[in-house]
Structure 1
Amino acid sequence: MLTVFRDAWIVTQNAAREVVRGDVAVEGERIVQVGGKYNGTGDEEIDCSGDIIIPGLVNTHTHIAMSVMKGVVDDLSFDDFLAKVFKIDADRTDADLALGTKIGAAEMMLSGTTTFMDLYYSEDVIAKATQEAGIRGVLCWCCLDEDKTTQNGNPVKNCDRFIQRFSGERKIVPGVGLQGVYVCGEETCVQAKELSDSTGAPMNFHLSETRGEVNAHKRQTGKRPAEWLSSIGVLGPRGVAAHSAWLTMNEVRLMGEAGMSVSSCPCSNMKLATGGVAPVPEFDRYGVNVSLGTDGSTTNNSLDMIGEMKTLGLLQKASRWDPTVTPAQELLDIVTVNGAKAVGMSDRIGSIESGKYADLVVLDGKAPNLRPLVPENIIANLAYSLNQANVKTVMCQGDIVVRDRKVTTMDVPALVGESEEAWRKLCLR
């Protein structure tokens, strides 16, 4: 199958960060030409005259199956929020997990995301629903101490079985998750890291989300969370630390030395009023790869990476009284090439280059909010003017999953029609 996107502005995100005009040709799963005129005829030709094509966005921290739990834990203190969420989690079924995953996938695809990194249990159920949706899932099975989980059996062993079962599945990358130091002792953390090392699986975990979490851990161990994880050998290049808002510069340095990534979640942190702002300029200085996550639909209520990108930039500027930090190109890097690096897929996704997977998002370049549109302002428009309504067509690994703002892989009206009953069953108990 040969698909040709004709006559677009192409924001390649290649090493030179080139923006070119012309065609993108896709054969099967891979990009075969970028820019210029493709001289052949595609099996499908898509007119993109005046439109913009960007790489698919990468969401590096979410809990996709919680999409059916919107609005049940809003406006609560963090402790009350956690208590209520954990209680609801204990009652979840495979059916509502699959429904939440599909609704969340539709929301992400319609806002330009083609890859997401998830942290939850029952990732086997989530994986099957993700494949049906057509999006790419980097699915990290949640590990925590056995006496603190609602899972049947040992969570690390459950994670190992999941990895073995789904390794090599199309558009599924199985990974290791850690809930956080507040429910993960040294044995659990070390075993999870050993599993990641032995399988090459990515690893996603919550880190230093709140000041209370940090202070409690320091009282217990004498060390702050990132320092403690470093001392027991858990930090490493496959690690993606979500939130990371309450860190010292020594912790940032240790994370950089370990080759880590972070997933900043600004909307979630602000909504929960956990305080702290992820030190993005310092991450850059010490070599920590910065990516972006929405967190779940209970803490953000949206899985829109476009809005999250702008929020990250504005929060960094406002909190530092410095409009020069996180400039537009850096923001676009964070949601594309940096996200690809975080999930261990820099060689396959994150930019529009020949040989890479065809993860492409066509944006409506004729929309008033993106005009005027000239080469000199395209990047700024993407960072500060773009919104999810501008997304027209989305391709993930060669499959068109959104066409003219309609999801092609699922009956979305039928799915959302089931969502209210699922919400009532879960949240009104």
Structure 2
Amino acid sequence: MARVTDKGVAVTGVGLVTSAGADEHTFWAGLCAGRSTARRCDELAGLPVDFACPIDGIDLDRAVGGRAVWRMARFVKLAVVAARQAVADAGLSPAVWDGDRVGVVLGVGVGGISALVDNARKFDERGPDAVSPVLVPMMMPNAAAGEVAIALRACGPSLAPATACASGATAIAVARDLLASGRCDVVVAGGAESVLTPLVVTAFARAGALSTRTDDPAGASRPFAEDRDGFVVGEGAALVVLERTADVRARGGRSRALLTGAGSSTDAYHPTAPAPDGRGARLAVETALGQAGWSSGDVDHVNAHGTSTRLNDAMESALITRLFPHRPPVTAPKGVLGHTLAAAGAIEAVATVLTLEHGVIPPVANLDSPPGGFELDCVTKEPRRRSVERAVSHSFGFGGHNVALAFQRARPPAGS
């Protein structure tokens, strides 16, 4: 095992497929436009909640290519496409790297439940012979991590953390640990989810988690708005390539941002509701800040979890107000993208990296004025241009999982 003296970790590549765009540039343009991607979906017709934020405009089978697509569920295809984008963006190649030193950490919350539901129906209607012989690799949550590892010839640790809506952020935190420990030299990390199937959407609706604004799907996801009534289900995938800063310098690579801290905690309170006092969430954020060596006043921007639910937004707004009394600007991408569940933390990590790079904070969709009752400086209506040096991204999940990631703007190499 290599002896590690430089614990700095850099984001060197990003890749993502979302309802706002199937690559970094269209995603960023869509996020900055601040318009929701929610629409009615044929596959949800007849349900009490018949809208979501689906991914359009990409042929995933063509994008993945090869014969392996027949054994992949949709969430796996999303992950493979995003992983290839991220590795190419990092200027790396699986053809030449030492695969034994490359890890994959890919968070998934639900996995291939659509394939399971379809095959359960076939089993009931036509018997055992109707069940697909590839149902197991299509439905297992770790399939995305395994297929990405195959696609990238990555033979190091391949992990699939499941911390519900914090899974993508958990994956990035675990990846940072793998680099700091010296176990890996490169880790591809993030999250993927695609559960736009009637059973899952109905389950979230029955739990009271979804917006019922069926007369206005595009206005349904409204983080921190006074009249918010629940989230909108989305789908997507995002992955980042992480490397130690010393290794990036040695190979002449580009650091897009620095991952300076990652904090995790558990509420130990309720299976679906956040602890009202936000103690667990605060512990995650303070841990990330401590690892980064920052005080709360050093934070220039917060990328909020912002689900558009009554309980989460109230807890998070109180948390931000207490921790950051200097009122750094806040955004919440779920207004545009809906809630992509396990992918959300990874997608929002990429959004935070892009904010650091571009000096632009995207607006919160469907929030036309400062949120009533919340002491937050939410970015509304249009993007806000502002130099951001340090930012935190929040992710909170059912089960009480809390993750905070601290990112810092990368400086170009001297003389560049």
Task: Please classify the TM superposition score into its range, dividing by the shorter chain length.
Answer: 0.3 to 0.5
Which is bigger in relative contact order (C-alpha 8 A, separation at least 6)?
2
